[in-house]
């Protein structure tokens, strides 16, 4: 009987050493079963020959064959002992592998947690780098980036843009009389009101000090721009309550419109700044840019 090809159902992901041990045990098991069958057959033949009055020589041969089969069975038993030892070692290796995998999974989880913390830290650092710490509004760096992107879109789609330059009148007196903490509270409240007035596609930023910039995306004509500017003036001019203080702040707003008042972000901001100075001197709280104002912009 040949034992070269024994079909097994050992899972493909079983460790190699364990696979070998399991396959060997199945071969040895088959060999032992075959030997047992031969031994039983030999015993039956001996009994039959004795029953038939066979000579002692024939019986001796049958018994010798039986002993040979028994020897083979003993060899199979020895093989099984070896296989058992290998199986135990394989199982131990498997347990060690599982422990190593457990540690690897734990290390991976810790690495993922560390990466999450790092990414959140990077996100917060980027947020701080692009936003004003006092008001939480975008800062000038972020505003310039959005303005450049808006100009590119406006050029592609034939839109208009408007940049409003806001300055808070008599803000310095708030700091001088009530302190910088009161001044910061005013800035935060103005920022909140500007944000409430701002559409999702628009951008408001703190330019520094008591200055703010307001980008209007495709505002659909000067009439709508002036309506928005008037609404901003009205909202900011409402009383600001700080503890037991009630403060009144009014903005002056200068407006420059793309493309007529400038083709770049820098031109639009500078021209809106120039228009803001005219608003400070006039009866209206806001003013649209006109070309001659560029010549009178303070150095």
The pair of structure tokens assigned to 72 is 């083979």
Q: Are strands 286-288 and 251-258 parallel, antiparallel or unpaired?
A: parallel
CA-to-CA distance for 125 and 135, rounded, in angstroms? 16
Structure tokens at 69: 């089969």
Task: Answer yes or no: 210 catalytic.
Answer: yes
Nearest-Å Rg of the Cα atoms of the chain is: 46
Which is catalytic among the residues 132, 167, 202, 210?
Answer: 210
Tokens of 282: 């006039």
Residue with tokens 């209206």: 284
Diameter over CA atoms, the chain: 143
How far apart CA 190 and CA 210 sit, in angstroms, is: 10
Residue at token pair 């002692």? 56
SS3 125: helix
SS3 letters for 155-172? HHHCCCEEEEEEEECCHH
Residue 131, Ramachandran bin (φ over 0: left; ψ between -120 and 50: alpha; else beta): beta
Residue for token pair 């040895």: 28
- Structural contact between residues 155 and 265, judged by C-beta atoms closer than 8 angstroms: no
Residues 90, 94, 100: CA angle, nearest 5 degrees: 145
Q: Which residue numbers are catalytic?
A: 210
């Amino acid at each position: 009987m040949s034992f070269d090809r024994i079909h097994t159902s050992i899972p493909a992901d079983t460790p190699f050493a364990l696979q070998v041990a399991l396959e060997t045990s199945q071969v040895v098991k088959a060999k032992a079963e075959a030997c047992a069958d031969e031994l039983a057959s030999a015993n039956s033949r001996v009994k039959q020959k004795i029953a038939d009055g066979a000579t002692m020589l024939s019986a001796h041969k049958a018994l010798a064959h039986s002993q040979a089969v028994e020897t083979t069975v003993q060899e199979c038993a020895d093989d099984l002992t070896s296989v058992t030892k290998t199986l135990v070692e394989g199982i131990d290796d498997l347990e060690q592998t599982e422990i190593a995998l457990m540690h690897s999974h734990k290390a991976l989880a810790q690495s993922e947690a560390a990466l999450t913390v790092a990414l959140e830290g990077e996100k917060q650092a980027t947020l701080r780098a692009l936003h004003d710490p006092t008001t939480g509004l975008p800062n000038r760096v972020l505003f310039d980036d959005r303005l450049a992107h808006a100009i590119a879109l406006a050029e592609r789609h034939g839109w208009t843009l408007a940049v409003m330059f806001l300055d808070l009148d008599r803000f310095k007196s708030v700091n001088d009389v009530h302190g910088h903490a009161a001044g910061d509270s005013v800035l935060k409240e103005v920022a909140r009101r500007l944000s409430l007035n701002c559409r999702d596609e628009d951008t408001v930023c703190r330019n520094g000090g008591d200055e703010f910039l307001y980008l209007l995306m495709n505002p659909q004509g000067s009439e709508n721009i002036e309506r928005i500017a008037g609404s901003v003036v009205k909202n900011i001019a409402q009383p600001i309550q700080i503890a037991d203080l009630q403060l009144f702040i009014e903005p002056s707003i200068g407006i420059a419109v793309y493309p007529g008042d400038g083709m770049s972000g820098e031109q639009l901001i500078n021209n809106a700044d120039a228009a803001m100075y005219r608003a400070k001197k006039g009866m209206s709280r806001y003013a649209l840019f006109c070309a001659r104002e560029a010549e009178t912009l303070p150095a």
